[in-house]
Structure 1
Amino acid sequence: MLNGILALLFAGLFLRAGELPSSMWEPLGSGSFPRLILAILVLINLAIMLKEARRLRTLQPGEPGMVVQWLRRHRLAFGVLVLLGAYILCLPWLGFALASLCFLLAGQWLLGARTARGLGIALIIALCFSFGIDLLFREVFVISLPRGLLG
């Protein structure tokens, strides 16, 4: 069901991407790359729905507690989803670099970086992919990512 909702959302965004203004330097139009990515996302979600529908047809009624077991098995995915929601909510206030740093550090800790060495590597990765990407977009591409209230 979630994949169906996502497929509809991505299809709607696909249609809206065609409305992006174009410039004379982009022969395909500014919406071409977002439309390509969104079309791929729609296809991926449809493929997941098809695969799950085939699997659900072969399932027999299960024993009590299967839902709890399923939730327990997928707790990391739900944790990352909660972190992503917090990242999206904090992005306007903290700005791209700081929000990304927090998201990446928390995500890597959640996924298993608990030793001093692991946390050091996580910090280096988080710094490169938060402040590094912000610097790249600002200085090379001349695109300002959200600065936040602190920036």
Structure 2
Amino acid sequence: MSSQAPLQQTRSSDRGADPDTRRANALAHLVLNGALVVLFATLFVHAGALPSSMWEPLGSGSFPRLVLAVLIMINLGIMVQEWRHYRSNTAAAPGLVRRWLWRHRLAFGVLALFALYIISVPALGFRLASLFFLVLAQLALGVRRPRSLAIAAVIAVTFSFGLDWLFRDVFIISLPRGPFS
């Protein structure tokens, strides 16, 4: 490498990316880290309401608030760096967002299933909500053959009912029961 060649710092996600997608990657990182800052700030505020104990002079919310403050600072630093990348790259071609969404449809589908799972746990209880989530997630991930379906069913039953039993009878931690439990 000659001493005349300019040094260009690239991220691992940009090495294989064409110039069209570099700006889109930077924008995606900005949006993600911005959402994380909002989430962590909300949790930071709620951590202040944790009940205090007479044995902890700082209170039970001090450590979570410290961790969340560090996470907020890290995400803000990443956002500053990504803003520089965003401004230094040219605009992307039309249709890039649609292609990106299509390429990541499986991840978004699993996230949507997980959101439905979180919403359904209070209504159905841990066992049934977990059973439905695990079966649907495995179907979304491509389980189609009879043997794979049988293995998926065993995994779903084991993790939904087995974890409920483990927490209820071994750890003596009550998970949401639901109307059918």
TM-score class, shorter: 0.7 to 0.9
Query: Greater helix percent: which structure?
Result: 1
Q: 2:166 aligns with which of 120, 129, 136?
A: 136
The aligned residue for residue 156 of structure 2 is 126
Q: Where in structure 1 do 4 or more consecutive aligned residues deviate above 6 Å?
A: 23-26, 32-37
Aligned-residue offset at 1:109: 1.1
User: How far apart are the structure 2 equivalents of 1:87 and 1:77?
Assistant: 15
Aligned to 2:142: 112
1:37 positional shift: 7.8
Matched residue SS, 2:94? coil
Tell me how large the CA RMSD over aligned residues is. Answer: 3.2
Tell me, in whole angstroms, the C-alpha distance in 2 between the residues paired with 1:86 and 1:149: 17
Query: Aligned in 2, Cα 1:73/1:87: closer, same or farther, shift over 3 Å?
Result: same
> Does structure 2 conserve the Cα–Cα contact (< 8 Å) formed by 1:97 and 1:131?
yes
Q: How far has the Cα of 1:50 moved from its partner?
A: 6.1
Work out which of the two has the higher radius of gyration on C-alpha atoms and give 1 or 2. 2
With structure 1 as the length reference, what TM-score do the two structures score? 0.75
- State how far apart, in whole Å, the 2-side matches of 1:124 and 1:148 are: 22
| 1:117-151 deviation digits (Å, cap 9, x = unpaired) | 22222222222221111111101121111111112
Q: Secondary structure at the match of 1:90?
A: helix
How many positions carry a matched residue from both structures? 151
Letter in 1 for 2:104: H
**TM-score (normalizing by structure 2):** 0.65
Gaps of 5+ in 1: none
* % identical aligned pairs: 61
Partner of 1:88: 118
Segments of structure 2 that go 5 or more residues without pairing to the other structure are 1-30
How do 1:2-41 residues align onto structure 2 when only pairs under 5 Å count? 2-21=32-51
Is the deviation greater in 81-90 or in 99-108? 81-90
Q: Deviations over 1:11-34 (max 9, x none)?
A: 3224423543366899x9766886
- How far apart are the structure 2 equivalents of 1:36 and 1:117? 48
Aligned residue type for 1:123: A
Structure 1 pair 77/98, CA: closer, same or farther in 2 (3 Å)? Answer: same
Q: Distance in 1 between matches of 2:160 and 2:147?
A: 20
**Structure 1 counterpart of 2:98, from 68, 73, 85:** 68
How far, CA to CA, are the matches of 1:147 and 1:54 in structure 2? 49
